[in-house]
Structure 1
Amino acid sequence: MDIGIDQIGFYTPNKFVDMVDLANARNQDPNKFLIGIGQDRMAVADKTQDAVSMGINATAEYLDQVDLEKLGLLIFATESGIDQSKSASLFVKEALNLPAQIRTFEIKEACFALTASLQVARDYVRAHPHHSAMIIGSDIARYGLSTPGEVTQGAGAISMLIKEDPAIIALEDGHTSHSENINDFWRPNNLATAVVDGHYSRDVYLDFFKSTFKPFLEEKQLAVADFAGICYHLPYTKMGYKAHKIAIEGQDDETVKRLSDNFQLSAKYSRQVGNIYTASLYMSVLSLLENGELEAGDRVGFFSYGSGAMAEFFSGRVVEGYQKRLRPALHARMLRERIRLGIGQYEEIFTEGLQALPENVEFTSDANHGTWYLAGQEGYVRQYKQK
């Protein structure tokens, strides 16, 4: 029985910062950001967008295609949670009027959490083959103004429906994992921004790729040439490119060109959005699917990494007719119609986003019609509305 990705929804807020503007404001050579980091724009979430609202928007994109009577599981993956106890998934469930009988909870392990959710969902569907599972990864990456990590911030969400006989990607059996208790990136409860050792995190990311990629090839008796593309967790695109160079080392020209071309296509959305933590790998997958020219049966590799640290490599095969389930025009319009912020506007929005919400507050949104947003808080209970 094939199990895998049947639907993918994508959302990013309606505001962004251009990397040339940011570089000039920080007295940096723009090529340091455009080439050295590999980013063109960075999504910015204002006070009306949080992990929940973005997750609702990503899921609402395909909800009318879901048989809700067969939906049995909803998992929300995030490191930008809004409550220390209550799952963000319950807010999504209420907003979208999902069935009361579904099992639902939240998962956290830095940027690995959506992959953990995917594997749990896959096992659920395997045990309940006529049911489906919905998984959401949604995050706001914040490091602080004028910090080394500022250029690697971003905001967005990916939502996926996992079921038997999937229409987009059928997951293959097998995976390789590697985990260690290390401190390359973390965010204590009393901090609104992350603590990160950028150079150390880069080195660990690459070490963990080596620890999962080669063993996966050996375990599955595969060659690098057997992949049409390899998608990576992209906290910034240059990080993934460093792992990509390891993957293609020593390969023939045809394999190098195919994988390199598809890497660039997989990074297109990341270059426009920035880091969305747990959903970054799957934004890479969606970018490849919507911008590339894959054929039915093509094998795609997935490298998932979450600081702290946990990594996994696995693979899937593209399903015939997958293009019919994608919405590239919708996503292109969403990215194109965003508002370009001046640096002063961005800094004001960023600083406001670090503040805890008061017990009672009401917000209005400048989002497009139909967009879900955080409308405020009543008695410390967050309120979500549709524009």
Structure 2
Amino acid sequence: MSVVAEDEDVVTLGAAAAQQILARGGADGVRTLMFATETGIDQSKSAGVYVHRLLGLGPNVRVVELKQACYSATAAMQFAAALVARDPSEKVLVIASDIARYELDTAAEPTQGAGAVAFTVTANPALLELEPANGVYTEDVMDFWRPNHSTTAIVDGKTSITAYLDAVAGAFDDYLSRGGAPFDAIDWFCYHQPFTKMAVKAHRHLADRAGSGADPAAVAARIEPTTGYNRRIGNSYTASVYLALLALLDGAEDLAGKRVAIASYGSGAVAEFLTGTVPANYRTALRAAENERRLADRVPVDDATYLALQDAARRRDPSNYETARQTPAPFRFGGVRDDQRIYEPTV
């Protein structure tokens, strides 16, 4: 699993992910930045506003933060699609960035992780063309939450698995009722992955409901190409389902013309099921080698370092502190001075 350096947080992770997009395509047309996270850094100010400055975006950009556990990046994508439909000249920058951190020596500790994904929503998409049908589902379930006073989440593991399966199934049923493609007409499925086997459980659940007759080995084979990044990164909450999509796109399979499903889930609980088709020339927009390099360049940490990083996250005086210079990433979190968060480029 990935753990963050002392001078990293969701802002620095998200800014680093989005910087790659702007370096390639520029910021022209970007009038909205949506920042999806459940690792909030402020009760009022959006984490995206800090990213806006770090990326050097102009003043004529709306910025907003969205929260609903691991689901909100999908809400951001749908809201972005509506904005682009209204004005096809606009682009919307979506950032999903999270740090999954749990108490030491608990059952949830092995499912920690950290990561960020950024993408633009445009009228002429390079990677996935969204189809109009989608299904949604909401139910008030106490399976996972993080109170204001806590830096770690509270998890009811068994309830969370059941809630996940029920919500994804409910969203898929709603998707079908709104003209969505039948189960067997979908080529690939990308699921939210708090741990990678959850995607297999979810796909088997939908396959059984759809009467597809898929055996367990066939189910696992269809999900395997979506698990590569999440297996190495761990749980990244809002970014997880889009890391699944990215792993599929970066993989060896030829996806041109294929229909891909996104099954997005956020505890508490909200789910959405949607599909899109992959354009013919999608590989020209990928950066698989760079993604692999970023993963390979991570620095392994020993037990003592890991425990020190976990302890540093629980600040004794959260209103004033400095962070040690550790990250080699393009941006760093310098700490808090008089309750104001400090961000700066590393070079």
- For the criterion TM > 0.5, the same-fold answer is yes
Match of 1:251 among 200, 212, 217: 212
CA distance in 2, matches of 1:154, 1:73: 28
The letter of the residue matching 1:163 is T
Quote the Cα distance in structure 1 between the aligned partners of 2:319 and 2:159.
39
Q: Residues 141 and 153 of structure 1 are in contact (CA less than 8 Å); yes or no, is this contact kept in structure 2?
A: yes
Q: Give a deviation string over 1:124-162, Cα, whole Å, max 9, x none.
A: 111111100001111111111001100111011111111
The equivalent residue for 1:306 is: 266
Instruction: State the Cα distance separating 1:213 from its structure 2 match.
Output: 1.9
> Whole-Å Cα distance in 2 between the matches of residues 221 and 251 of structure 1?
16
Equivalent residues, number: 344
User: 2: CA distance between counterparts of 1:98 and 1:134?
Assistant: 11
With the length of structure 2 as denominator, give the TM-score of the two structures: 0.94
Could you say which residue in structure 1 is the equivalent of 2:137? 178
| Residue 92 (structure 2) pairs with residue 133 (structure 1) | yes
Which consecutive residues of structure 2, in runs of 5 or more, have no partner in the other structure? none
Q: How does 1:46-195 map to 2 (within 5 A)?
A: 46-195=5-154
C-alpha distance after superposition, 1:332-385 (max 9, x if no partner): 1111122222222211211211226644433343333x5211122332222222
Supply the distance in 2 between the matched residues of 1:254 and 1:240 (Cα, whole angstroms): 15
Cα distance in structure 2, aligned partners of 1:89 and 1:139: 13
Q: Which residue of 1 aligns with 2:224?
A: 264
Mean CA deviation greater in 70-79 or 351-360: 351-360
- Return the TM-score normalized by structure 1: 0.84
Aligned to 1:241: 200
Matched, 1:354 2:314: yes
Give distance in 1, aligned partners of 2:289 and 2:26.
24
Residue 338 (structure 2) aligns with: 379
Q: Check conservation: 2:92, 2:122, Cα contact below 8 A.
A: yes
Provide the C-alpha distance between the structure 2 equivalents of 1:360 and 1:111, rounded to a whole number of angstroms: 30
On the 8 A contact 2:134/2:174 being kept in 1, the answer is no
1:343 aligns with 303
Root mean square deviation, CA, Å: 1.9
SS at match of 1:375: strand
Measure, in 2, the Cα distance between the counterparts of 1:361 and 1:215.
Answer: 48
Q: Are the counterparts in 1 of residues 194 and 236 from structure 2 also a CA contact under 8 Å?
A: yes
Say if 2:207 and 2:214, in contact at 8 Å, map to a contact too. Answer: no
Which residue of the other structure, out of 280, 284, 297, is the alignment partner of 2:244?
284
Work out the CA distance in 2 between the residues paired with 1:360 and 1:163.
41
| Correspondence for 1:18 | none
Structure 1 unaligned residues grouped into runs of 5+: 1-41
2:6–2:324 contact (8 Å) kept in structure 1: no
Q: Distance in 1 between matches of 2:181 and 2:295?
A: 37
- Alpha-carbon distance in 2 for matches of 1:323, 1:260: 25
In the alignment, residue 184 of structure 1 is paired with which amino acid?
D
- Distance, in Å, in 1 between the alignment partners of 2:312 and 2:41 is 16
Q: Provide the residue aligned with 1:326 in structure 2.
A: 286
Counterpart of 2:133 in 1: which secondary structure? coil
User: How big is each residue's C-alpha offset from its partner over 1:145-201, in whole Å with a ceiling of 9 and x where there is no partner?
Assistant: 001100111011111111101111111001111101111111110111101100000
Q: What secondary structure, in the 3-state scheme, does the structure 1 residue paired with 2:225 have?
A: helix
What's the offset of the Cα at 1:67? 4.2
Shift of the 254–153 alpha-carbon distance from structure 1 to 2, 3 Å rule, reads closer
Inter-partner Cα distance in structure 2 for 1:65 and 1:333: 17
The answer to whether the 8 A contact 1:170-1:316 is kept is: yes
Deviation at 1:223, TM superposition (A): 2.7
Contact 1:77–1:107, Cα closer than 8 Å, also in 2? yes
